[in-house]
Amino acid sequence: MEGWIQVIFKIGKALVLVCLTLAAAFITAPYISNCLSLSSEEIKIFRLGALGMVAWGVLGKSTWEIQTWKSSTSHERFNSWWFTALYVLGLFVGGLGLLVEPM
């Protein structure tokens, strides 16, 4: 049962991270729309960049073949951090790309 609690906790933690990231994009988008005059083409670049970051993070994580049972090596910790950072940044930029209004 302890394993299931850990799984549910990690799923909940991921959900909170996604919600906070999208909330930050939702709050930031009006300011960016007011400060920058972005064209539709520039907003498409935002969206493609976001897609690229998420893909890079996912592919980097899925191709990591050497792992220990406890994921305790510095390489594994950095790989996990890098995946999370790219995923969150990609989600944030993708949210901005969907919410920012073109000029």
- One digit per residue, the tens of pLDDT, for the chain of length 103 reads 678 888 899 889 989 999 999 999 999 999 988 888 888 898 888 889 888 888 887 777 666 655 666 667 787 778 778 888 888 898 899 888 888 888 7
Residue matched to tokens 């980097």: 60
Q: CB within 8 A of 15, min separation 6: which ones?
A: none
Long-range contacts of 62-66 (CB under 8 A, 24+ apart): none
Q: CB within 8 A of 61, min separation 6: which ones?
A: 79, 80, 83
- Is pTM beyond 0.85? Reply is no
pLDDT at 65: 58
Token readout for 72 is 């305790």
Token readout for 85 is 């950072």
* The dihedral formed by the CA atoms of 30, 34, 40 and 41, expressed in degrees to the nearest 10: -110
Look up residue 70 and give its DSSP letter. S
Backbone angles phi, psi at 54, to 5 degrees: -65, -45
pLDDT at 68: 61
